[in-house]
Amino acid sequence: MPVDATPDPSDPIAFGQRLLILREKRGMSRPVLSGLLGMSASWLKQVEKGQIQMPKLPMILRIAELLRVRDLSDLTGDQSLSTDLFIGPGHPRLGAVQAAVNDFMLTTSQQAPPTAHVRARLARAWAARHHAPNHREVVGELLPDLIRDAQLAARQADSAADRRTAQAALSEVYSLSQFFVAYQPDSALLWRVAERGMVSAQESEDPHAIGVAAWLAAQAHRDTGPSHFDAADAITLEALRYLTPLLSDADDAVRAITGALQFEAGYTAARRGEEGAAWGWWDQADRTSKSLSPSYYHPVTSFSRAIMGAHAVTVAVELRSGGESVRQAVDSDAAPIPSRPRLARHRIEEARAYQLDGQPEVALSTLERAHKAAPETIKYNGYAKRIILEEVESKTPARRQAAARLAVELGLLAA
């Protein structure tokens, strides 16, 4: 097997060999990985050569996160551990959303609602997403009818101008759909929604719609893994080349999606380990945030002045800077984040920072705060699940009990 391949779970090669293959595929040296694990390079060498036994689950989970291993069976070879920690459970409303996305209604006699009506419902759906703790449930209930009506509005528009307006609304409906579908067990549906959103945005010729669709498409590529980072960058940078000349006359919405894309470029750079580029893009996004109205909060990306502290935590965590991550977490905690799912996501990033800095008790208490803000966010988050599963194995009773309570809440352990 070539060293740049992903191990086949059914291939009976040893754990150490799998670890070596995945480490070299990631482009990470033995001293760097061992240092991040808090172990010696000689220990890691012995593991890779099979001279010592496979580590216990907490260490396996830590290795999996550092090497961006999505399915544990790729690392362990044990198909009973064939678990993608970045895929959550299928939501009960996923089937209805799938059906609406796949239903083109070519022969329907139903009359489309006015695009303004679709827009008003879409605004209410975004508001519900930001304010409801069970936001997937709320959005999943609204989406099927919203998708069908937005499709009809685009198809039945009377003029070219009306059709472009309707396509912009349809693109944003697909954007909302992507938030619902993300981290659920239907990756094909996620890509279908992302691609349709981009096509509708381009048909609309609306800069804001194009920026949002590009932002979500770039995220879909980046979350697929390191082999798709170049594609994520290509989409992000092309969108920025398109939007930047428009900024002098742009409203807050276009400025905000530009800032969100600037941060996305920094996020991908951080995932690559490119510290200078990551913070450079963060600086650009921060300058853009300061050009917004003080109270402005972008309904899709959450981009705002308030979010930049949370973004700084994410950059530091992705760069594996434990002390800096915690410093940024402390600095950012005073900034209000009005969206419950975005606040929960920030708490999860803070928990990663504390875990990285060797403060697992604080990491667990921070995850409890994330769960209180938006239970459905933490339930679908792979990083949160990794921390919890690691701490379920803790030798410290209080940590083990706290992790077990969260694991039961998330359905990772039986009550």
The domain segmentation of the chain, as residue ranges, is 15-81, 91-205, 230-305, 310-415
CATH of 15-81, one of 1.10.357.10, 3.40.50.150, 1.10.260.40, 3.40.50.2300: 1.10.260.40
pLDDT at 6: 53
153-190: per-residue pLDDT in tens? 999 999 999 999 999 999 999 999 999 999 888 889 99
pLDDT at 4: 45
pLDDT at 87: 67
Fold adopted by 310-415: 1.25.40
Q: Which residues contact 217 (CB under 8 A, 6 or more apart)?
A: 194, 195, 197, 198, 235
Q: Is 183 left (phi over 0), alpha (psi -120 to 50) or beta?
A: left
| Tally of residues, the chain | 415
> Residue 125: is it exposed, middle or buried by C-beta count within 10 angstroms (0-12/13-18/19+)?
buried
pTM, rounded to two decimals: 0.80
In the numeric block, the tokens 């989406």 are attached to 143
Sign of the C-alpha dihedral, residues 155, 149, 185, 406?
Answer: positive
> Residue 238: is it exposed, middle or buried by C-beta count within 10 angstroms (0-12/13-18/19+)?
middle
Per residue of the chain (415 residues), give pLDDT as tens.
Answer: 344 455 444 445 788 988 998 888 877 788 878 877 888 889 999 999 989 888 887 788 778 877 877 677 778 876 554 455 566 678 999 999 999 999 987 778 889 999 999 999 999 999 999 999 899 999 999 999 999 999 999 999 999 999 999 999 999 999 999 999 998 888 899 999 999 999 999 999 999 999 999 999 999 999 887 888 999 999 999 999 999 999 999 999 999 999 999 999 999 999 998 999 999 999 999 999 999 999 999 999 999 999 999 999 999 999 988 889 999 988 887 668 989 999 999 999 999 999 989 899 999 999 999 999 999 999 888 889 888 888 887 889 999 899 999 988 887 766 5
d(C-alpha 415, C-alpha 407), whole Å: 9
